[in-house]
Amino acid sequence: MQRDCDQRDRWGQSAHNLGLLRTRLKQGLGLPARELDATLRIYCGMDQGRGPAVLVTGGAGYIGAHTAKALHSRGYTPVVYDNLSSGFRAAVQWGPLVEGDVADEERLVGVIGAHRVQAVIHFAGLIEVGRSVANPDLFWQVNVAATCSLLTAMRRCGVGRLVFSSSAAVYGQGGRGPMETIAEDAEKAPASPYGDTKHAAEWMIAAQCRAYGLTAVALRYFNAAGADPGGAIGEAHEPETHLIPLAISAALGDGKPLTVFGQDFDTPDGTCLRDYIHVTDLAAAHLAAVEAPFAPGVFEPLNLGTGHGRSVLEVVKAVERVAGRPARYSIGPRREGDPPSLVANPARAEKLLGWRAAHSSLDEIVADAMRWERGPRYGAGARQFRVRPRPSEVA
């Protein structure tokens, strides 16, 4: 056990030292981020993707793939562990892919040992609110029981740093006014089994921190959106349930109108308010959480967002503005499990991680998402053939 604790301390100290070195070089040399990271790799003798190994469960999925790219760019080796039930092999471009299920404890132990994993970022899980209402038992099995298997495997292998992909769904509405932002100590009143399972997983992780000295950060993010600006990876859920790609499809695709679920909420225009955050900002926050100098035994939940809520109809208008054409929509009934408003207070993440959303204006999010939707490289099925060109693009 002492050897395991020593391993945790070495990981935390080395990651902390790397972060400090980067900050001091930035202050002293005034280099742009890209040149700064290249300088760091030369200084540390760390070529891209050959540094400490970080296990990324669910790394073939949307946020996981963007985080793997960010890890690789900083010099880490992202080891993607995914059963490919909803992820894509083609999204794994910056490190090895190991196929496996998070519920398989023995498989995890073997992978962690073989790759000398020193930290884990845990994305793998089910995310659809409506599906959780219809099949709550499945969500408890995947989001809670399988997370327990991962925690046990980490403890057996002496891995002492976890970054957990949590959600703003742990809050629900909780008696909060529609325009109020949410701090980490706000009342927890999940409005769906999905939120229940994320909250339960946090409890379990916090207990492991107290009992075994695990260091863990639970990142409660709000609405991930956008895509890699270079177009290498993007959002490719099948079926797609997220607002921005569906609104883009309504504007550029087959003309099928978007369904807006409810226009009778206690919000300025009657539609739900959400805090949209660019997926590259989320990836940067996960990297910062891996490197943050938290002590053994610490469990730190942190909100990731912009602090500004956008309504469904504001998103539709942004899509129309960027696309230069209307996005047809119809108003449907409320969707069970949807709170009127979820908007982050991200001050604590800025304080403890030195992180702030830098690319999360609605127009930037929509522009990057639209670039991906026009030419998806994987997982979009027939969607890419439904995207109609602008009139000016027709010869």
Residues acting as catalytic residues: 194
Of 19, 66, 54, nearest in space to 40 by CA: 19
Q: Is 14 left (phi over 0), alpha (psi -120 to 50) or beta?
A: alpha
- DSSP per-residue string spanning 195-214: HHHHHHHHHHHHHHHHHH--
Residues 224, 221: Cα–Cα separation, whole Å: 7
Nearest by Cα to 7 from 118, 112, 81:
118
Pull the structure tokens for residue 194: 């999905």
Q: In what order do the strands lie in the sheet with 77-82?
A: 97-99, 77-82, 53-57, 117-122, 161-167, 215-221, 299-304
Task: Judge whether 303 and 349 are in contact, CB under 8 Å.
Answer: yes
Helix (H) or strand (E) run with residue 132 in it: helix 129-134
For residue 207, the number of C-alpha atoms closer than 13 Å in the C-beta half-sphere is 10
Burial class (CB in 10 A: 0-12, 13-18, 19+), 310: buried
Closest CA to 230 of 114, 381, 94: 94
Backbone angles phi, psi at 93, to 5 degrees: -125, -5
